Amino acid sequence: MSLYWRIFVLNAAVLVAAVLLLLGPVTVSTPVLFGEAVVVLGGLAAMLVANAALLRVGLAPLDRLTRAMTAVDLLRPGSRTRVEGPGEVAELTTSFNAMLARLEAERATSSSRALSAQEAERRRIARELHDEVGQTLTAVLLQLKHTADRSPEPLREELRQAQEATRTGLDEIRRIARRLRPGVLEELGLHSALRALTTEFTTSSLRVRHVIAPGLPALDEATELVVYRVAQEALTNAARHADAHEVGIHLCDGPAGAVRLLVRDDGAGIGRAAEGAGIQGMRERALLIGAGLTLGAGPHGGTEVLLDVPTSRTGEGPR
């Protein structure tokens, strides 16, 4: 029986019972006596209470499905609504679960294409920064040095200051190019790239240390890039937003044979702040390789980022 007919039959039963009572032992005279008014009003209250209870019981599966729809997050896949209730509600829940599975698959596909295009664009920009802008600044630096060597002393000092400014800009461009295109990752592998990240983010106010467990299974290139980008984003958040003084990067064995990346800082923590584009980007990258990503407070405060990569993402050999 459909939900509509169930509610109709239950309400009709209540109304028929009320009519039978009025035609039988319950009568109403004119003017209405006090006892009759009490009986009629009591019957009305009983009908309303019964109707409310029946509607609540009948529509409870729809309420649960509505709450599940509101709480859906495609960046946290895998949640499904339990199929229960009458036939129409069960079919609606089943259809919703199937639709959610399709949306998750389409989101993963579109995210993969977008991130692949993003990485290609990063490589192009890094190459242009290195080949075009870098070479131009190098030529300017050499020209400034040549001019300074032939200039009088008062002008020479100003040219040397221009040299230092140009050299600083050239170093910054090279640093940006390295972040856009991790050449160390492509040439030497994930372990060397994580060590390079540790050196890059270590400053006078931030100490970054790394611990890489021996004997870890190798990962394929796409997975190594995801692990590297998650570590890079976690370090960037710790350096820019967390006011942290110490960050630890651990690459070790995870649960069920997975490879785990753990980034933990001693900063202010996430709290109840909304997740920004950086964290959402980490979640999308984790979805691409079927990895589990968890962000939360560390055991002693700060922020802890956990990325568990399944062993199916292994490569051909150690790097």
- 104: pLDDT strictly greater than 80: no
Question: Given pLDDT bands bounded at 50, 70 and 90, which one contains residue 85?
Answer: low
Q: What is the pLDDT at residue 227?
A: 92
**Mean per-residue pLDDT, 135-155:** 84
More confident site: 281 or 47: 281
Mean pLDDT of 240-245: 85
Element (H, E) at 298: none
CA distance 237 to 141: 34
How far, CA to CA in Å, does 232 sit from each of 92, 147, 198, 227, 237? Answer: 43, 41, 9, 9, 9
Per residue in 289-315, pLDDT (tens digit) is: 888 888 888 888 889 999 999 876 555
Q: Looking at the DSSP assignment, which residues form a beta bridge with residue 305?
A: 263, 295
CA distances for 7 relative to 12, 15, 84, angstroms: 8, 12, 17
Q: What angle is formed at CA 255 by the lines to CA 252 and CA 257, rounded to 5 degrees?
A: 75
| CA-based end-to-end distance of the chain | 63
If one compares 136 and 73, the residue with the highest pLDDT of the two is 136
Mean pLDDT across the stretch 195-209?
Answer: 89
Structure tokens at 19: 């009519």
pLDDT(19) > 60: yes
Per residue in 268-291, pLDDT tens?
Answer: 887 776 777 788 888 888 888 888
Q: What is the pLDDT of residue 317?
A: 44
Residues near 209 by beta carbon (within 8 Å), at least 6 away in sequence: 198, 246, 247, 248, 249
Closest CA to 215 of 252, 243, 240, 258: 252
Q: Give the pLDDT confidence score for residue 26 in this predicted structure.
A: 61
According to DSSP H, which parts of 33-86 are helical? Answer: 34-71
Q: What's the confidence (pLDDT) of residue 315?
A: 56
Residue 35 has pLDDT above 60, yes or no: yes
Q: Are the CB atoms for 210 and 194 separated by under 8 Å?
A: yes
pLDDT given for residue 71 in this prediction? 75
CATH superfamily placement of domain 183-313: Histidine kinase-like ATPase, C-terminal domain (3.30.565.10)
User: With contact defined as beta carbons under 8 Å apart, do 75 and 31 qualify?
Assistant: no
C-alpha distance from residue 153 to each of 148, 159, 170 (Å):
9, 10, 25
Domain parsing of the chain, residue ranges? 3-103, 116-180, 183-313
Q: What is the pLDDT of residue 248?
A: 92
Can you tell me the distance from the alpha carbon of 259 to that of 306, in angstroms, rounded to the nearest whole number?
Answer: 10
Percent of the chain with pLDDT over 70: 89
Q: What share of the chain is helix, strand, coil (3-state, %, to 5)?
A: 65, 10, 25
Most confident of 15-19, 71-75, 252-256, 274-278: 252-256
Least Cα distance to 77 among 97, 93, 62 occurs for 97
Tell me which residue of 149, 315, 102 sits closest to 221, measured CA to CA: 315
Spatial distance between the Cα atoms of 207 and 132, rounded to a whole number of angstroms: 34
Q: Quick one: pLDDT at residue 318?
A: 41
